[in-house]
């Protein structure tokens, strides 16, 4: 830098070189201090959401498994009481599922998130607050709900990718679908709503699912948001019955 601006001979050149040298030394001192400060500031900043390869922003229902296949999806957890019980039933029946998690729940129970991943299930972003009216909120609100939850879930999972995004109550918008898809999360719908969150009996849940299976492959259950003992018992009944009907189990297409 000094060679670029100073003269190569004469008093003026010497003086100029000295000035430049002093300036360079000062720059090094201050830039060093700035580097330390910037590093400290950066360490305080939250991690940005991971940027996986973009996916199709359309809402998916179809299974990635050919033939007669179902996608089991589990919403609103993880929950320390019910998620382990759901995982136990799925393991017993050798069925994989997509767990659509609430960000703060995942942050509070990282051990459960890791168990879900270790068992071969997939992760889905179900926002921060499960606001079923978020399709009427600002884009900045939608962005925070989706991206902050994604980061919480991936941090809790130890870095495993969140592969899907499900809007609470189906409150998708074109903006939220594209935002999620740009971050590698395929918007995920459902075809069969078990109504397990409505407090009905196990028989009611069972009959609802059986009656609606002709609607399509993606089936919605819950492991959070309340007493899910009926969900657990329903899965114990329905999964073997589904196999008897010739169904296999896959994941939603990406």
Q: Report pLDDT digits (tens) over 178-229.
A: 999 999 999 999 999 999 999 889 999 999 999 999 999 999 999 999 999 9
Torsions phi, psi for 225 (to 5 deg): 85, 10
Q: How many CB atoms lie within 10 A of CB 204?
A: 16
Q: Where residue 40 falls among pLDDT bands split at 50, 70, 90?
A: very low
Sorted by sequence, the CB contacts under 8 Å of residue 199 that are 6+ apart come out as none
Say if pTM beats, i.e. exceeds, 0.85. no
Catalytic residues: 75, 222
Q: Report pLDDT digits (tens) over 127-158.
A: 999 999 999 999 999 999 999 999 999 999 99
Supply the pLDDT for residue 115. 98
Whether the Cβ atoms of residue 180 and residue 125 lie closer than 8 Å to each other: yes
- Which of 32-36, 59-63, 113-117, 152-156 is predicted least confidently? 32-36
Instruction: Tell me which of 175 and 26 has the higher pLDDT.
Output: 175
């Amino acid at each position: 830098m000094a060679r670029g601006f100073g003269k190569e001979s004469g008093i003026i050149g010497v003086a100029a070189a000295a000035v430049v040298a002093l300036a360079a030394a000062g720059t090094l001192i201050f830039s060093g201090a700035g580097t330390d400060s910037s590093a400290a500031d950066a360490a305080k900043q939250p991690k940005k959401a991971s940027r996986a390869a973009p996916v199709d922003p359309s809402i998916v229902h179809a299974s990635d498994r050919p033939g007669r296949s179902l996608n089991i999806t589990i919403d609103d957890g993880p929950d320390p009481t019910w998620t382990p019980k759901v995982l136990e039933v799925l393991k017993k029946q050798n069925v994989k599922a997509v767990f659509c998690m609430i960000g703060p729940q995942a942050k509070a129970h990282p051990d459960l998130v890791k168990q879900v991943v270790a068992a071969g299930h997939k992760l889905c972003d179900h926002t921060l607050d499960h606001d079923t009216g978020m399709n009427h909120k600002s884009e900045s609100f939608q962005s925070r709900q989706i991206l902050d939850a994604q980061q919480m879930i991936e941090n809790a999972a130890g870095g495993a990718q969140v592969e899907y995004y499900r809007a609470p109550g189906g409150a998708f918008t074109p903006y939220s679908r594209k935002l999620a898809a740009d971050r590698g999360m395929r918007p995920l719908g459902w075809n069969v709503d078990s109504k397990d969150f409505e407090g009905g009996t196990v028989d009611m849940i069972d009959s609802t699912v059986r009656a609606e299976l002709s609607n399509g492959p993606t089936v919605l259950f819950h492991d959070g948001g309340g007493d899910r003992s009926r969900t657990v018992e329903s899965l114990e009944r329905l999964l073997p019955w589904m196999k008897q009907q010739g169904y296999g189990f896959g994941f939603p297409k990406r």
